[in-house]
Amino acid sequence: MNVSLLEYLQVGPPLLPIAPNPGYSKENTKNAKYNARDITSVGYWSIFNLATITAQITAQYGNILAGATLPSEPMPASPPQVLTSETSFRNRFTLYLDSRIRRSLRAGFQWLLSQNSIDGNSVSMAVIKTGKSSDRPWHCELVAIRRLDGNGNLELSDSIPWETHGSATHPVLTVALALWYIGMLASDNRNWFLP
């Protein structure tokens, strides 16, 4: 059974159990060219929220979310394994969201192409990075980070709980919808860019 792209992006993965006090994994990636000292200010990305994104999605992407369809795809039902490192998070992300985001972006671009509306859009991929505090007591979440300039000024969005889910009739800002939205923003070569 096919569902709208919006409904496809309303699923939420299961809550991921985190190993208690796993210590800091030596497997976590680091970048020698960039570290915390390079961040000069952190602000609030106030417009990255459900109300603003819903308004922008409806205005800019509503036709895609309603018009593009995909085969319904439930989340894997097996209980998730415990997270112990960045590698285990990457594996869970791949299992629960990577293919879903890729398929949803592909469906969106195919729909744009079928409507002769793809002008100015190109596909771009994002980087998935875990925070250092994998032993924190709260649930897993997505926090979108926007670089304002090349001088270390960043903005952080409100967090989106990992397991958030909604429906096509009562949509919510899920991790899948947020990542799809970031992918669509990144593909818009005319109206959106990062410094």
pLDDT in tens, the chain (195 residues): 999 999 999 998 888 887 776 565 555 567 777 777 888 999 998 888 777 877 777 787 888 888 889 999 888 888 888 887 778 888 888 888 888 999 999 888 887 777 665 554 444 444 444 444 444 444 578 888 888 888 889 999 888 888 899 998 998 889 999 998 888 877 766 665 554
Q: Are 118 and 159 in contact (CB under 8 A)?
A: no
Measured in residues, the chain has a length of: 195
Residue 65 region, left (φ>0) first, then alpha (ψ -120 to 50), else beta?
Answer: alpha
- Give the span between the Cα atoms of 184 and 2, in whole angstroms: 22
- Residue 5: what pLDDT? 92
Rounded to whole angstroms, the Cα distance separating 166 from 148 reads 31
- What local confidence, expressed as pLDDT, does residue 127 receive? 45
Q: Provide the pLDDT for residue 193.
A: 54
3-state secondary structure of 18: strand
Where do runs of H (alpha helix) occur along 94-165? Answer: 99-114
User: Comparing C-alpha atoms, which of 190, 100, 182 is closest to residue 147?
Assistant: 182
